[in-house]
Structure 1
Amino acid sequence: MIVAPGACRRLKPPYPYGSISISFGETLFNIRTDNFILGLTFLAPLAILFLNILLVFKVRRILFERKMNSSKKQRKSHISLTLTTLAIMIQHLASGAKTVIGIVRPELVPYALIIRHRLIDLGMISVPWIFYISHPMFHEKTARVSSFT
């Protein structure tokens, strides 16, 4: 952030009484980054979403092409990668949706923020768990050693 005087303003419902947001006024040399940050907030999730969709399609294509020649472990790895990539997209979809709501219906942004924060938390929690549960690397069968004496 470029140096600027700040101000506190009260947030309206659905936030409880006493909730504030800090905003800034005139900046040093009148340089404002709002438009750049707004564009980046909108374009970055779209770019990440697009790249993740491409990755999912590429993995699915590889999975179907190698279906006869690949091992069960490789197929499970491809499925794990697909599921993990889809879980990663939850966070970016939430950020993109909040940005669109902010442009189209600014009065709904407080509600969108409540939902966005929960979806980001869900995404951050679900990604490692989905990867751990679905990837065969974590589910190796161990050989039993038995001795006869």
Structure 2
Amino acid sequence: MARLPSTGIFTSFCASIPPNHWLKLIVFGAVYFNYLAIYFPFLLPTIRITVLLFPFSHTKVNKHLTRYMIPLLTITPICFTFYLIPALGVCRQRAYPLPFGSLWIHFIDSAFGLTNRYFHLYNLIFWMTCSLSASALLFYQLAKARSQMSQNSDLFRKANHSVSITTTAMIVFYMTNGAFLITFILYYDTESYSSYAALIRQFGNDLQFCVVTWVFYLTHPSFRTDYVFDEVSASRNWLNRRPQ
């Protein structure tokens, strides 16, 4: 929706076609998956918290959690994109500093004249708050468990390190998207800062889609064979040692 059209590759093609629903599908796909990228980071710390809170039944809890949460989060973006059903996709010229011929794909004639900017911003604020709150609770539980399990301190240190890196990457993603949305709302359709914000946003998206997943996989001890059972075992021992 933004990167390839900005290069000028599709300029001649876009100039030769009227507004249509095929271009709208590109917009819908980009908006829909942006919402998913906002929602699903919440599951990452939430699933990990259950290992600490329910060490004897976390498999069953997470099974039910993913069974209902994943379909729910997959359907939810439709509530914020329904106005695109009658809309038409169009190509628009990018503002300065991008040269003439640099385009981006947008839409017109949406239902009730609605746009995505405020829906997206409010979703971003809500789910960022939820994700950071879940991460903070996970930090607290890890620190509490680590203080009571000195013999497993290295395991909890590695898990804490993994949570720190993935949380930082998620924060950068939320902040870059938030900065883009606010700049877009304030300076839309003006030759000002919105194009610069659009350039920065792509790095935030890449950080979320690629870096968070790989960092979690490479740093969390549960993906290493020598620690595969230790985290659950340590959580169970910590639970048994808690005062009743």
- Contact in 1 for aligned 2:146/2:156 (Cα 8 Å): no
Q: Deviations over 1:5-33 (max 9, x none)?
A: 55433223222321223444445xx6222
Q: Which residue, out of 96, 99, 103, partners 2:181?
A: 99
Rg larger in structure: 1
Q: Paired residue for 1:87?
A: 169
Structure 2 spans left out of the alignment, 5+ residues: 1-83, 228-244
**1: CA distance between counterparts of 2:145 and 2:90?**
59
How many residues matched? 138
* Residue identity (%): 25
Q: Give the deviation of 1:58 after TM superposition.
A: 0.8
Residues 39 and 67 (structure 1 numbering): CA distance in 2 closer, same or farther, change over 3 Å?
same
The AA in structure 2 aligned to 1:89 is I
Q: TM-score, normalised by structure 1?
A: 0.75
The AA in structure 1 aligned to 2:215 is I
Matched, 1:128 2:218: no
Matched, 1:54 2:133: yes
Q: Paired residue for 1:108?
A: 193
- Contact in 2 for aligned 1:5/1:24 (Cα 8 Å): yes
Matched, 1:139 2:221: no
Q: Deviations over 1:51-91 (max 9, x none)?
A: 12212221221122222323232442243234223322322
Greater helix proportion: 2
Q: Paired residue for 1:147?
A: none
**2: CA distance between counterparts of 1:129 and 1:115?**
21
Structure 1 spans left out of the alignment, 5+ residues: 143-149
Residues 80 and 17 (structure 1 numbering): CA distance in 2 closer, same or farther, change over 3 Å?
same
Residues 78 and 7 (structure 1 numbering): CA distance in 2 closer, same or farther, change over 3 Å?
closer
Q: Give the deviation of 1:42 after TM superposition.
A: 0.6
**1: CA distance between counterparts of 2:206 and 2:98?**
19
RMSD over aligned Cα, in angstroms?
Answer: 2.5
Q: Paired residue for 1:19?
A: 102
The AA in structure 2 aligned to 1:45 is L
Q: Paired residue for 1:3?
A: 86
**2: CA distance between counterparts of 1:6 and 1:135?**
42
